[in-house]
């Protein structure tokens, strides 16, 4: 299948937000789980000091999705730091629309994030995967990724909402 990868632009925010909702739906999360808006993406990803960077997977018009989309996958990532390894990249999302899976697009997106991170001096890439997403777990492990929950016993933690507000006081 013919596709290309490119850096996300401000004009891609509508499609990124659409695919974020599709990803949440795929992971069987509640409809309102994705709280950010297209405007949030515009402000946070395309400001002077962006909080994230993105990559878009696109197909030519003749291969567009059944719903008419040519932007059929994305990845967003940001740079972080490991106290053990140094520079790292965190791949927040990797998504390919279901009708385009199994064609090498997900692997290409993941590989592009790794290439960009390596060019930036990163030593590792981190990400999370839902327990229920067996096909994604298998895919990531086939790319040489380790499940740190099993390997090191780490749990990915989050503080948000009222608890986050209280913690900041």
As annotated, the active-site residues are 140
d(CA 77, CA 56): 12
Tokens representing residue 20 in the block: 């974020």
Between the alpha carbon of residue 92 and those of residues 29, 63, 101, 155, 164, the distances in Å are 16, 27, 19, 16, 20
Nearest Cα neighbor of 111 from 55, 169, 30, 162 is: 55
Tokens representing residue 167 in the block: 């913690």
């Amino acid at each position: 299948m013919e596709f290309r990868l490119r850096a996300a632009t401000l004009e891609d925010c509508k499609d990124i937000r659409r695919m974020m909702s599709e990803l949440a739906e795929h992971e069987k999360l509640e409809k309102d789980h994705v709280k950010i808006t297209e405007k949030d993406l515009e402000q946070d990803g395309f400001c002077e000091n962006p909080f994230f960077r993105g990559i878009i997977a696109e197909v030519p018009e003749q291969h567009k999705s059944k719903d008419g989309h040519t932007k059929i996958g994305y990845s967003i990532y940001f740079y972080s730091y490991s106290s053990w390894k140094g520079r790292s990249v965190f791949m927040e999302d990797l998504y390919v629309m279901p009708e385009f899976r199994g064609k090498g697009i997900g692997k290409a997106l993941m590989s592009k994030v790794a290439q960009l991170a390596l060019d930036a001096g990163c030593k590792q890439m981190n990400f999370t995967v839902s327990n229920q997403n067996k096909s994604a777990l298998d895919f990531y492990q086939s790319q040489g990724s380790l499940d740190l929950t099993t390997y090191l016993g780490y749990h990915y933690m989050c503080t948000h909402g009222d608890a986050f507000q209280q913690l900041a006081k």
